[in-house]
Chain A
């Protein structure tokens, strides 16, 4: 069976082969599960999303998304393949000159052949689901951190992806909001009706979320991967 995300022998740490490099990381994110990979600032855990999406290449090892190494694909196919993965970068990555609504609509407008009416319909659904309809006309700088994060979740889910990669998704949010957004992300909207596969990377996971996540791994200072108790 295809593993949605498989990390195989990717070295973390500072990178570049120095003393701060950690042992290569090997871990898989099974289908329909939520896996959290936590680590300190210098653990290099924040680079995994970029490696998985082929935005950068890991110095060694490989990360396969649905058995495909995205970085190896030709440019156009690489862009198309990334739409199968929802991505929430650290710091939300919203475009500052667009309203929250247009931020959510942007990937659909540039990455699908849907009609404007279909796109607007999908955007409205996502804005309601993320509970940002009331502030959808605001630009990111005019919105609160929570509203920006909600919009970023809505954008990451715009293509209804089977796999989500979330970088520090809950930093600065209350546990209640974090739990609500995690449930939204897990969803149940994909064609098969199954829940999404999610990889969360970050420094910490709110305590109230541990029971909602199937596996929580922590990269120790020695570079080993430690499974934290649920």
Chain B
């Protein structure tokens, strides 16, 4: 029987090995872009646009709702509480740092992971179980070019687009909340713009890219890793979602450290 330390070591080694496999999968998918012929690029672009429609366009309503409610609640409370202390200037920091820089990317990525990541994992796992991936390989088609790259770029673009929507709605809902609590619009924008630095912009963009990578690659990896029966599909979907969520939180923590 192995001791707890060995078990812990074994578990860590397995996780690191999976991380390595994920990284190899991601790099392999990106590298396959170089050998994509022109006609294949046109097909991949069509699939990518379809992915963006499903992941970004169809999710705008949900992101608007989440962002609007979150921002309205936070700013309403902040204006009231900070107003009593005479520190309403801090709502700028709250909007920029807490909502735009931290919660915006986090909630957007979690929304995409929960809504589209699961769909990607389930779809690719089904492709695998139905023998479609095997058929692609047998025909000399790299499944990463047809199945992975469009979902990867689709997720990347979608997270970025939804993040912009989230931030715009958050700032607008914050304005509504501030006005609702007696603050004039000019003052609100002055406070927000004063709190906004260039670092906030590039950090938000970097997060959108990093989270887009996670949401695009992790579900595709777990979906294509399925080997057996249809009963493996929900298992793969669940693993993909959990791993994406953990990855997004870990990545978010890393950005706090480096930012």
Chain A residues with CB under 8 Å of chain B are 49-50, 53, 55, 76, 79-83, 87, 89, 91, 93-96, 106-116, 119, 155
Contact B37 A109 (CB under 8 A): yes
Nearest CB on A from B116, distance (A): 16
Contacting residues, chain A, for B36 (C-beta < 8 A)? 110
> Could you jot down 28 A-B contacts, CB within 8 Å?
A53-B137, A53-B138, A55-B137, A55-B138, A76-B35, A79-B137, A82-B140, A83-B140, A87-B138, A89-B138, A93-B131, A93-B132, A93-B135, A94-B135, A95-B132, A96-B132, A106-B139, A106-B141, A109-B42, A110-B40, A110-B146, A112-B37, A112-B39, A115-B39, A116-B39, A116-B42, A119-B39, A155-B139
* A93 B38 Cβ-Cβ under 8 A: no
Instruction: Please provide the chain B residues from 166 to 218 with a CB less than 8 Å away from any CB of chain A in the complex.
Output: none
In the bound complex, CA of A61 to CA of B38 (Å): 39
Smallest CB gap from A120: residue in B: B39
Given A79-B141, A83-B140, does the pair A106, B134 have CB atoms closer than 8 Å?
A: no
The answer for the CA separation of A119 and B39 in the assembled complex, in Å, is 9
Q: How far is the CA of A109 from the CA of B136 in the complex (A)?
A: 12
B232 at the interface (CB under 8 A from A): no
The 7 closest A-B pairs by CB, nearest first: A93-B135, A83-B140, A109-B39, A82-B140, A110-B40, A107-B139, A110-B141
Give the distance in Å from the alpha carbon of A106 to the alpha carbon of B135 in the complex.
Answer: 11
> When the two chains form the complex, which single residue of A83, A93, A106 contacts B43, counting CB atoms closer than 8 Å?
A106
Extra inter-chain contacts (5) besides given A83-B140, A94-B135, A110-B141, CB under 8 Å = A53-B137, A83-B139, A87-B135, A109-B39, A112-B37
Cβ of B33 < 8 Å from any Cβ of A? Answer: no
Report whether A110 and B130 are in contact in the complex, using a CB–CB cutoff of 8 Å: no
Asked whether, in the complex, the Cβ of A110 is within 8 Å of the Cβ of B145, the reply is yes
Q: Is the CB of B138 within 8 A of A93?
A: yes
